[in-house]
Chain A
Amino acid sequence: MNCIQLVELVTDYLEGSMPAEQRARFDEHIAGCDGCTTYLEQFRITIRLTGMLDEEQIAPDIRETLLGVFRDWRTSA
């Protein structure tokens, strides 16, 4: 495994969805490669920062409309 291949496999690695043999080669490469160690670390930081974002807000008029949908359903049910 070389660096250009490894960078395509980082999500597979983090998801634990790699065959054991491939995982061993990934670990072996990382152990001897500063560039890929940094890349993996940056991937982890990227995931952490993405996790700090908020979901979008919904518009008040949509909230009102859907409340109406719910009330209609409740009276008809």
Chain B
Amino acid sequence: MSDPPPPAATQQDLALVRALRAGDETAFMMLVERYQPAMLRVALMYVSTRAVAEEVVQDAWVGVLKGLEGFEGRSSLRTWIFRILVNTAKTRGQREARSIPFSSVWSADPDADPSVEPGRFLPPGHPASGRWAEPPVGWESTPEERLLAKETLAEVSRAIDALPPNQREVIRMRDVLGWPSADVRNALDISETNQRVLLHRARAKVRRALEGYLGAERERKA
């Protein structure tokens, strides 16, 4: 099954491109605010130092500006920008002769990282093997304001920072920035399945972190 074609540029994308072509500084800086942090993180996956990654991102912006005339809107603007970034980063990474092959940057081993510790299920051999032995305790008893508190969000943020870079970037793009899956897989040039596996691994680990955090809180109160 081949992945569906990427979504084309929106009217908003096209308006932005027209503004950029006309030399609108505010439009450019808006794009920079929006994409620079993710671009830097992605670049860091292909090159060895932050300084080089910053150069890569700057080169990519130059590439974006030079390519504006040729932007036809066949993909969304962010997809197009990230394609330029990834290509720039790969070229630079090759020149650096990094030992990590690029094909492994986004690979997700489907057998690794179970979503839940296997010990929480009844073991093989048990008549109800594979069912919960220690099911999750619902968070209904956690008041909404506690759930949405700064401290809880900081825990989510820490859990995301601790993820492997490929999982971290996919969950950031999908769940923090709210990009549709088609934009993420096109921006990073990965398959739909790969994107979904990375996203699931990431979400599962964040849930585990929250479960630990909220559970410990509950025990302190009890």
Give the bracket for the number of chain B residues in contact with chain A.
35 or more
Interface size grouping (class) on chain A = 35 or more
Which listed residue, A33, A56, A65, touches B37 by the CB 8 Å rule? A56
Interface string of A37-75 (1 = CB under 8 A from B): 011011101110111111111100011011101110110
Chain B facing A: main interface SS? helix
The residue in chain B whose Cβ has the minimal distance to the Cβ of A50 is B175
Q: A15-B196, A62-B36 are in contact. Are A8 and B115 (CB under 8 A)?
A: yes
Contact A55 B203 (CB under 8 A): no
Contact partners of A41 in chain B: CB under 8 A = 138-139
Q: Which residues of B contact A (CB under 8 A)?
A: 23, 25, 28-29, 32-34, 36-38, 54, 58, 61-62, 65-66, 114-116, 118, 121, 129-132, 135-139, 147-148, 152-153, 156-157, 160, 171-172, 175-178, 181, 192, 196, 199-200, 203-204, 206-207, 210-211
What are 15 A-B residue pairs whose CB atoms fall within 8 Å in the complex? A7-B114, A7-B115, A7-B116, A8-B115, A10-B200, A11-B196, A38-B137, A39-B136, A41-B138, A42-B207, A50-B203, A67-B29, A70-B25, A73-B66, A77-B65
